[in-house]
């Protein structure tokens, strides 16, 4: 029989984790239960779903926004702070699975799986998020791209938990966009995801440009070349075309059963172009 631990608080969860590095960490289970019947049962389960300290939502003393790893999409969607300060995450949450999945699936679970088609990951990349991990030796904070190491591979140690995601204090003042191109309107696996944010200088120049992309490589990634060509520039039609060109070299899409590499490449370019045009319009 599989051992089942349901910790009452974070301290208990951490000590269970430290004691049983081989136990499965279970949050909403919406990733883990897929294909569960094909796998051997785990030695044990540490059930984190609904743990209060993982469902915190608010501002830290340093002004940064904090979202607990245990927050479900449903909770994120209902929260006015998320809607106001993190509209890209709000929009992304609305398109995860459908209502049932949104009620169970969590931010921490999306990170834990670190799939190339995890919908929040490009958003977290684009919103300059850092991932807070806690283990016996304390807390560490990693930028998303230092946490997501590869295809379904993370920097999480086997005595650590994902505790929270934190965002820059000024994130709500940056312009944010989100676009998911999926196989259908709900219960849809992404073919391409674009999340982006930027601050604007007084002259309209783009500052702190972040472009997060998903489903276009083995892992979600920041389009760093694209960010570089946009940084400090005032958006216009020509810049939009340059960005569209550049982003196609930032990515490494593949042909698979859900889409084709040439399509993914083409629409990533056009969506980036659209975003820059939209920024140029906002300027006028």
Q: What are phi and psi of 15, to 5 degrees?
A: -75, -35
Nearer to other proteins, 154 or 268 (CB): 268
Assess contact for 227 and 209: CB atoms under 8 A. yes
- The sign one gets for the Cα dihedral 179, 183, 188, 191 is negative
Residue 106 is given by DSSP the state: B
Among 47, 119, 128, 227, indicate the residue that binds ligand FAD (CB under 6 A): 119
With CB under 6 A as the contact rule, which of the stretches 30-38, 83-91, 227-235, 254-262 interacts with ligand FAD?
A: 30-38
Number of Cβ atoms within 10 Å of the Cβ of 146 = 13
Restricting to residues 130-159, name those near ligand FAD by CB under 6 A: 156
| Maximum separation of any 2 CA atoms in the chain, in Å | 65
CA-nearest of 80, 100, 104, 277 to 196 is 277
Nearer to ligand FAD, 69 or 243 (CB): 69
Nearer to other proteins, 48 or 88 (CB): 88
> From other proteins, ligand FAD, none, which one binds at residue 101 (CB under 5 to 8 Å depending on kind)?
ligand FAD
> From ligand FAD, other proteins, none, which one binds at residue 176 (CB under 5 to 8 Å depending on kind)?
other proteins
Write the interaction track for other proteins spanning residues 98-137; mark x where CB under 8 A is met and - where it is not.
Answer: x---------------------------------------
Assess contact for 228 and 211: CB atoms under 8 A. no
Contact call for residue 143 and other proteins (CB under 8 A)? no
Q: What are phi and psi of 189, to 5 degrees?
A: -90, 135
CA-nearest of 160, 179, 66, 182 to 112 is 160
Characterize the bridge pairing of strands 221-222 and 206-214.
antiparallel
With CB under 6 A as the contact rule, which of the stretches 22-30, 78-86, 205-213, 250-258 interacts with ligand FAD?
A: 22-30
Q: Give me the residues that bind ligand FAD (CB under 6 A), please.
A: 24-32, 34, 48, 54, 69, 96-97, 101, 104-106, 108-110, 112-113, 118-119, 156, 161-162, 187-188
């Amino acid at each position: 029989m599989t051992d089942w631990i349901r910790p009452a608080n974070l301290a208990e969860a951490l000590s269970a984790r430290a004691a049983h590095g081989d136990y499965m960490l279970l949050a909403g289970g919406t990733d883990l239960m897929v294909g569960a019947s094909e796998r051997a049962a785990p030695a044990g389960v540490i059930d984190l779903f609904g743990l209060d300290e993982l469902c915190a939502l608010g501002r830290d003393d340093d002004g940064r926004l904090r979202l607990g790893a245990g927050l479900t999409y449903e909770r994120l969607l209902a929260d006015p702070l998320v809607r106001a300060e993190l509209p890209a995450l709000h929009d992304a949450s609305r398109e995860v699975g459908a209502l049932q999945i949104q009620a169970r699936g969590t931010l921490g679970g999306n990170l834990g799986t670190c799939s190339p088609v995890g919908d929040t990951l490009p958003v977290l990349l684009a919103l300059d998020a850092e991932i807070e991990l806690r283990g016996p030796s304390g807390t560490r904070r990693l930028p998303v791209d230092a946490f997501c190491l590869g295809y379904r591979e993370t920097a999480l140690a086997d005595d650590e938990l994902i505790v929270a995601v934190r965002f820059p204090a000024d994130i709500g003042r940056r312009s944010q966009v989100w676009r998911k191109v999926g196989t259908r309107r709900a219960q849809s696996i992404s073919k391409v995801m674009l999340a982006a944010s930027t601050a604007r200088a007084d002259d309209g120049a783009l500052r702190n440009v972040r472009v997060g992309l998903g489903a276009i490589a083995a892992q979600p990634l920041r389009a760093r070349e694209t960010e570089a060509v946009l940084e400090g520039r005032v958006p216009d039609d020509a810049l939009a075309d340059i960005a569209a060109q550049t982003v196609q070299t930032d990515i490494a899409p593949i042909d698979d059963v859900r889409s084709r590499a040439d399509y993914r490449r083409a629409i990533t370019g056009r969506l980036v172009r659209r975003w820059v045009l939209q920024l140029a319009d906002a300027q006028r």
